Structure 1
Amino acid sequence: MKEKIRMAIGNTLLFTYIAFLVFGFKIVNLALVGVLVFFLSTFKYNKAQVSHHLNENKKIYIVLLALISFQFIHGMFFQDLHEKRFGLLPLLFGSAIVLLWVADIRKILYIYLTCLVLLVGKGGYNILTYYLTTDYFTINSGGHIDAMLVVARPYLGFMLNIGILLCIYLYQIQKKYRVYYLFLSVFFFAYLVFIGNRMQVVSLLLLALLYFVFYMKANGSKKILSLLVLGISVFLLFTYTSTLKERFEMDSFTSLDHLFSRLEKKEPRVLIWKCAWSFTQESSFQPLYGLGKVETIDRQLAACYEDKTKDNPMRGYFLDALFNTHNQFLEYYVLTGIGGISLLLLFFGLLVAKVKRYFIPMALLLSLFNFCLVENLFNRQLGVYLFGFVLTLILFIYSENKKVKSIA
């Protein structure tokens, strides 16, 4: 009876935590505390499993702790610890270990996919309501989009990407309900295309290319045929999907110079990255420790937007939003110099070396890497939670794949 009660409490806390994470609720911190308390109070039941996991991945966790510690030491030296990001960094480590007590990875996957379906359902209902009540329907751009989708489009797109990969994983390991997982992956991809998340569509296409070239067990002719089918699918997708066609500025491909000129006036990240990188070319920039303070970066970005957007139709958008660097690697280099960027790259490098033999964990890792190229995950609560959550999935699924291979 005690065991049943313990499992019921654990499952309830697990569902609550993942649901709050997927829906981006601020009170996910309370759920994290609840799961951590449960984890610690039942540690004697999970000690062997947790110890084995930590020992098997100790280099990765050591580098993650070194990365977090370095940021705190750097912030202390530059008297920058009052910044919001330092309150989020402990959550990064907490979210990376909070689910290590779960014995069956499938339990996490089922809950995540269920919550993701609910999130898509809520967003789909909001879109339908918007369509029926507005005279001008658009989801290409506008301040109404993130509220309508429930979660900000970049983060929703990333979660859909992860959901698709998890469906493929479940399709591979389970004979039952294969049609369901296949349908669900197509459903998530269709929604991803519909909401026009460019970065994640590109990320999935690159992962498909990676699979066909390096992981697909087939002869050369079948690989060539698969790549041909992929190429035709990409062409049709970008030719006949109006949302993607407009958001990717397909009509701008008349020349490369014209493309970049158009993109700079349509995609904020192009100008954001130009501004952020320009700081590293100034004589005042110190590569060893960067600019030192978030306040300094924010001030210089604001000045750059003021100067570089005079002929840009998004000028008001830039000056109101005052975007951060939208690239975790670029931010860590500009802010904390070689030390910060080296530890982050080392973290990803160790993971690549560990999981490269298996496609799904490698695909999850590359999806996380790609997302860090377009967002500052460590500056946002949902970002740090997703980073830790996906890290857990990568290591758990790698462990399962390794176990199956050793049995086979």
Structure 2
Amino acid sequence: MRILLAAIYPYAFLLLYLIIPFDNYIRALPNILLAILLVAFPFIVKKEDFKKLKPLPIAIFLIFFVYLCADSLLSGRLPEDFYIIKKVLIAVGLAILYIPVADVKKINSAIIFSSLAAIIFTVYNFVLITDQVGNFALGDSPQVIESLLIDRLYLGLLSTLSILISVQAINKKYHPNNNYYLANILVNALFIILIASKIAVISLFALLLLRQFYGQRRWGKTILASIAIVAVLGLFYVLKNEGKIHSSQRADSSNAHTFIENSMTYELRAVVWSCAQKIISTEGFSMTGMGFGTTKDKLVSCYQTNISNPLKKERFVQERYNTHNQFLDFYLSAGFIALLLFLAFIVFTFITNRKRFFPTAILATLLMYCLVENLFHRQIGAYYIGFILIVLMTSARAPQNNSIKKL
């Protein structure tokens, strides 16, 4: 029994991360796989496996999770906060459940194939929708938005992770697999452009700049990369403003109504962050926060009093938009202590891994996405943070057998 569980355990992880983007279509399967992992874990884990949780950044993240639970419990708001806390539990749980596995190679493969599957699904939908509407448009077009498998932000995150994994896997000397990894990088980069995932584009250029600090002739490459990034960001800014003009001209078009509502990310975040700042000014400094549910309630109250446009106000109130910034969310909801612990996790992770590009790039990706999204408010976000924790936990160890250690 033990041998059988040890044999299927790594593949349960692989299948879990392979199907995450398709959660809306096969919702029960991820829960079944998590149940299998939970049942098998006590039978295959060994005492020395828990040493993988000892690195300071991982220990800080575990302390952060314990604090969230204790703060919510002692404040009497656990029932309303549990919806978010259980997302953090998923990320922590996946990292713990992964410790019997020797390395991260199989789950890396799952991320790559999952990204390719999501790309194929989205492109197929795009072709069907384009055929129905009779015209072809990319970027922020309604066809692209309606064809997405999951939210554009998370598709961009998945593609970014897939690119980073492929970059890490390329051998310096010639190897036949290098061609596949290069092709995967190209496909995912083109897909990010196709779906116009702005945060993914910015993240890739930031990671390109970061890459120049590793290897030989760092400063020369850094200067060239900086010039290229400034030029691209300038072009991106011009195109963004041009897109706003075209969007305002099409505002009365009924077939673009859904597209406009779902793609006005700049305006959405400007309003939300402004309300979050008003709440912080009104409430003052907080050590323990007001709770995740109360934070949303106060944001909704701010939308009702500060948004003058009736249609816009109705949309913000109905959607109950969160802070769209994980740092703001932790401060408002769980206080300065929670924010400090989360920042300590990021800082010590950087210090620990600063000499290695892959874990540093993974951490930088997490940081950039946390600046524009509350990743812990979505289950898919919790899954990918779990993957990031696994990468950070395993990156310091030399590659080993790609299954379970000897029992």
Which amino acid in 1 is paired with 2:382?
A: V
C-alpha distance in structure 2 between counterparts of 1:371 and 1:95, whole Å: 20
Secondary structure, counterpart of 1:326 in structure 2? coil
Output the amino acid matched with 1:181. Answer: Y
Residue aligning to 1:326 = 324
After superposition, the CA RMSD in angstroms is 3.2
**Partner residue, 2:86:** 87
Q: Distance in 2 between matches of 1:219 and 1:211?
A: 9
Matched, 1:201 2:201: yes
Instruction: Map 1:104-115 onto structure 2 (within 5 A).
Output: 104-115=103-114
Partner residue, 1:188: 188
Q: How far, CA to CA, are the matches of 1:391 and 1:33 in structure 2?
A: 20
Aligned residue in 2 for 1:72: 69
Name which structure has the greater RCO, CA cutoff 8 Å, separation 6+.
2
Superposition map of 1:4-403 within 5 A: 5=4, 8-24=7-23, 26-27=27-28, 28-44=30-46, 47-48=47-48, 50-55=49-54, 57=55, 59-83=56-80, 84-135=83-134, 148-172=147-171, 175-212=175-212, 214-218=213-217, 220-231=219-230, 266-282=266-282, 284-290=283-289, 292-311=290-309, 314-400=312-398
Give the TM-score taking structure 2 as reference length: 0.82
Partner of 1:257: none
C-alpha contact 1:24 1:151 (8 A) present in aligned 2: no
- Counterpart residue type for residue 342 of structure 1: L
Paired with 1:91 and 1:61, the residues of 2 have a C-alpha distance of 15
**Which residue of structure 2 lines up, in the alignment, with residue 256 of structure 1?**
none
Deviation of 1:342 after TM superposition, in Å, equals 0.8
Deviations 1:310-365 (A, max 9, x none): 24874443233120111111011112221111111111111111111111110000
Instruction: Report the alpha carbon displacement of residue 299 of structure 1 after superposing the two structures with TM.
Output: 2.1
Could you list the runs of 5+ residues in structure 1 that have no partner in the other structure?
253-262, 402-408
Tell me the distance in 2 between the aligned counterparts of 1:131 and 1:367.
Answer: 32
Alpha-carbon distance in structure 2 between the residues aligned to 1:188 and 1:195: 11
Equivalents in 1 of 2:35, 2:172: separation in Å? 32
Q: Out of 384-393 and 101-110, give the one that drifted further.
A: 101-110
1:366 deviates by 0.8
* SS across alignment from 2:332: helix
Q: Would the alpha carbon gap of residues 389 and 398 (structure 1) be closer, same or farther in structure 2, given more than 3 Å must change? A: same
Range with bigger deviation, 96-105 or 303-312: 303-312
Distance (Å, rounded) in 2 between the aligned partners of 1:314 and 1:141? 20
Percent sequence identity is: 25
Separation in 2, partners of 1:120, 1:180:
16
* Counterpart Cα distance in 2 of 1:293 and 1:73: 12
Alpha carbons 1:264, 1:271 under 8 Å: kept: no
Distance, in Å, in 2 between the alignment partners of 1:70 and 1:112 is 30
CA shift, 1:8, in A, is: 4.5
- Contact (CA 8 Å) 1:130, 1:137: kept in 2 or not? no
Deviations 1:244-291 (A, max 9, x none): 676688999xxxxxxxxxx99953111111111111111x4342223x
> 1:329·1:373 contact (CA, 8 Å) conserved in 2?
yes
Kept in 2, the 8 Å contact 1:361–1:395? The answer is no
C-alpha distance 206-97 of structure 1, shift in aligned 2 (>3 A): same
Quote the Cα distance in structure 1 between the aligned partners of 2:166 and 2:273: 34
1:146 Cα shift? 6.3
Change (3 A) 1:274 1:264: farther
Question: What displacement does 1:194 show?
Answer: 1.1
